[in-house]
A and B are shown apart, each in its own frame.
Chain A
Amino acid sequence: DVVLTQTPVSLSVTLGDQASISCRSSQSLVYSDGNTYLKWYLQKPGQSPQLLIYEVSNRFSGVPDRFIGSGSGTDFTLKISRVEPEDLGVYYCFQATHDPPTFGGGTKLELK
């Protein structure tokens, strides 16, 4: 199975700072159709995960433009510019290029 390694495991930030989370895959996530099926989710405390980014860099409906996904092949990054209180929680990357689909271990974003 594809292993997604997220770093850091936890990240302490000041409101208004930029945050950056890395997701590294054990295999290339480029599918045979040329697309890369890498998503990012945020799970706020007490809630279900919510989709932020799909196919590496596309923001889902209603997601603010301070969330920026990038990367290719095996290395991906989620950047959050100007962290706001509602951005706190656990971030997960997820790949659906290879079977079975797998999640990263999560990165907890908290206030310094």
Chain B
Amino acid sequence: EVQLVETGGGLVQPGNSLKLSCATSGFTFSTAWMNWIRQTPGKRLEWLAQIEDKSNNYFISYLESVKGRFTISRDDSKSSVYLQMNNLKEEDTAIYYCTWAGLYWGQGVMVTVSS
């Protein structure tokens, strides 16, 4: 059974940082392209970042509006993908999902940015 479990969310003040983790099982993680997607309080879905697999040199792409603040990474030995979020803004408040190429999604983790 495919499983993706996000952790690391919470309440942070504007300007602070947070690192999300996504632990996976049930599929061959080392060849999987992984994504982070978020859902705003208004239910809008927004693709944030993708990291490809080793055969594609772990190519990374970002949504322009988070480039330079968010960093996606992976650890194939732990079947996990991460999202480091720096200089957080109130508009980053959302549920954050990791997905395996959009095929399977985790349950999501809430990030609230507020003073």
Chain A interface residues toward B at CB < 8 A: 39, 48-51, 54, 60, 90, 92, 94, 96, 99-103, 105-106
Contacts and interface: CB of A to CB of B under 8 A. Distances in A.
Given A99-B61, A100-B64, A50 B105 contact: yes
Contacts of B105: 48-50
Interface of B: 43-47, 61, 63-64, 97, 102-108
Contacts of A49: 45, 97, 105
A59 to B, nearest CB: 13
Contacts of A102: 47
Given A48-B106, A48-B107, A49-B105, A100 B45 contact: no
A103 B102 CA distance: 12
A36 B20 CA distance: 31
B43 A106 contact: yes
Given A48-B97, A60-B103, A102-B47, 8 more contacts: A39-B102, A50-B105, A51-B103, A94-B45, A101-B47, A103-B47, A105-B44, A106-B43
